[in-house]
Amino acid sequence: MATILHQIGTPLQLVALFLLLVAGIARLLLRSGKLSSSQALTRLAINRIFAAGLTALILGLLIPVVAPVLDKWLNGDETFHGVVLSATGAPISGATINLLSIAIVTTNPSGQFDITVPRSRVLNEYRIQVQAQGYKTPDILTISASKMRSFEIKLTPALPELVKTLESNLIIGQYYGLPLVLATFRVENTATSTLNINEIRGNLTGANGSFMLIPVAWTIVNSFGPFAPVTGPFPIPAGARLDLRVVMMTGANVASLMAKLNALPEYRSQMPCSQSYGKAVEPLSDDAYTIVDRFAFEHFLWREGNWNLQLSASTDNETKSFTRDFSLSVNEITRLRDSIALIRQCLSINMTVPLAQDGSLANFLSK
């Protein structure tokens, strides 16, 4: 209906101009005396023509204005307009506007969008979701129809993905017989400030059960650098692109082992594996090694067969999970058991692990 009115608006204006022109010419002829018919009848005809022309002119001018209102009244469609902006007020082009269960549109280069809701789906309020690449996705909003007619939303930039991948060079070993896993994460901070890896957790599952792993030491993958103890979040400076290697171990309590070692006569005045000034670290005594070897044998958890490692890294804005499957052969189990002998030489985790940066140390396995 409104389309038809739009189409006849301009012709009506032309007809009006024609009728007004005819009426004007007729009046001039009547005044000049060139029309010989009854002046009363002539004046009536001229007035009728003039009135018709004036009416056509008014209708022709009003129809373009009235048509949209009439169209809405007849059809009942709702048209909503809005804009998506950044936190600084810059328009966001290509943002997705999802008027749930009704329509999905994207913003233009000016960040603007239009949504037409058919009459059959007009509601008093609507649920809307806004998404844009590089920005946090806000919760689904419930907006009234009146506010949707002029809708504005500002999005907050999303923090970058900090932990990219779990690298393929997984290294496994043992420490006092306890499972030890060296996991390497590819980390990239494209933000302008330091971001944190707040927590790393692991779970190791084999034929003999499932074991929780916790981070105990970390380093940046390099040829020499030692491992540092984990004391809190891992701070990743702005612009950093690096491989973060983390030592994951079961949370077994070795307090009983240390108590037995400290009770030996040779360690009442000094700790096991202590180093005197200018001297090398003294190996464990025979009695001490017997205690340690027994403890390591009792707590040796690696078994032949298939294993599953699950790791999760939680950052300031996300948690990423990784899974790795591997298997251990009889010979590999033997190598891991034999590596317990390194304890006699007092090779601490911070001494043996850096040597395994490339996975070539005999007491470690690359998976």
CATH number of 163-252+299-366: 2.60.40.10
SS (H, E, C) 69-81: HHHHHHHCCEEEE
Contact 299, 176 (CB under 8 A): yes
Q: How far apart are CA 239 and CA 46, in angstroms?
A: 86
Residue 350's pLDDT is 45
Residue 24's pLDDT is 54
Mean pLDDT, rounded, of the chain: 79
Contact 213, 203 (CB under 8 A): yes
Q: Please check whether the two domains, 78-155 and 163-252+299-366, share a CATH topology.
A: yes
CATH number of 78-155: 2.60.40.1120
pLDDT in tens, 198-229: 999 999 999 888 999 999 988 888 766 677 88
Can you give the residue ranges of every domain in the chain?
Answer: 2-75, 78-155, 163-252+299-366
pLDDT in tens, 250-304: 877 788 888 898 899 988 888 887 776 667 778 888 999 999 899 989 889 999 9
212 DSSP β-pair partners: 203
